[in-house]
Amino acid sequence: MSMQKHGNKKYFQLLIDPHRAQLLKELADEKGVKITAIMRDLVYKGLERALPSTTYNEAEALDQAQWRASIRNRVQGRQAKRKERDGLEPATDANSFRLQLSE
């Protein structure tokens, strides 16, 4: 089974029987979150119970580090775009050229 990617995350398709799906919907409505958030939390809790704590904790720490790196890269990218837009630095990609204005 190959896993499709969505950014840094993996994408799975899951079929749920209708009455238990209704339970998920009601739980999500009660908590004010999306059904997929409830499902994700339940899967993570199930993995945490099913695996040795060192295995699960290591995977969780790696995921958190990857998330922090993703946020850092996003912030740095936005800062670079802002500087590029304001004419403070030249564009970094080969397809984009900007004229720098000197004051």
Q: Which two tokens stand for residue 46?
A: 């199930």
b/e sequence 30-42, b meaning 16+ C-beta within 10 Å: eeeeeeeebbeee
Structural domain of 47: 15-85
In a domain, 103, yes or no: no
Please identify every stretch of the chain with a pLDDT value under 70, giving residue numbers as ranges.
Answer: 1-2, 88-103
In a domain, 27, yes or no: yes
In a domain, 101, yes or no: no
In a domain, 45, yes or no: yes
Number of domains in the chain: 1
Give the H or E element holding residue 44: helix 35-50
In a domain, 102, yes or no: no
- Distance (Å, whole) CA 57 – CA 68: 16
Would you tell me how many other CB atoms lie within 10 Å of the CB of residue 48?
Answer: 14
Q: What is the mean pLDDT of the chain?
A: 85
Contacts of 14 (CB under 8 A, 6+ apart): 39
pLDDT in tens, 44-53: 999 999 999 9
